[in-house]
Amino acid sequence: MPTVFAAAVLALVCGLVFGIGLIVAGMHNPEKVRGFLDLFGHWQPALIAVMGSAIPVFALLYFSSKRCRRPWFAERFHYPTLAGVSGRLVTGATLFGVGWGLVGLCPGPALVDMFSLNGDVWIFLVALLLGNRIAHYFFGPAATPAAKP
């Protein structure tokens, strides 16, 4: 069993790579994100390159993980268990999309921008956490992922 320290170092390295990638790609910039989402206005398609590179890398690693008995730094894999589209999923995705479109931030980029000391980002993060707790109160926690068989 790997040590807690090794798992924490790996999580730190992954978080740094992710955060640096968000900044380099410009996904932390709400104006750039809103420009990407503005399909019927002054659309800025540059962020397609981010998704176009992230999806194949994820897919390769995801399918490669299926060949492993267990992860290097965890007891089990946490694969998705969603078997269909529910009303809760559609409602949550819609609310997320509306928020993303209005603000131009989602949680990852907002956490990266937290260190810019921008007051608007801090307001967004507080609202995000409040919204999360309100949803948790009304809808309960999401389903727990199942372990890999």
143 confidence band (pLDDT: 50, 70, 90) = low
Entry pTM: 0.70
Average confidence score pLDDT of the chain: 84
Residue 112 in this model has a pLDDT that exceeds 90? no
Please list, in sequence order, all residues whose beta carbon lies within 8 angstroms of the beta carbon of residue 148, skipping any fewer than 6 positions away. 66, 70, 76, 77, 79
Orientation of helix 87-103 relative to helix 30-37, angle to 10°: 120
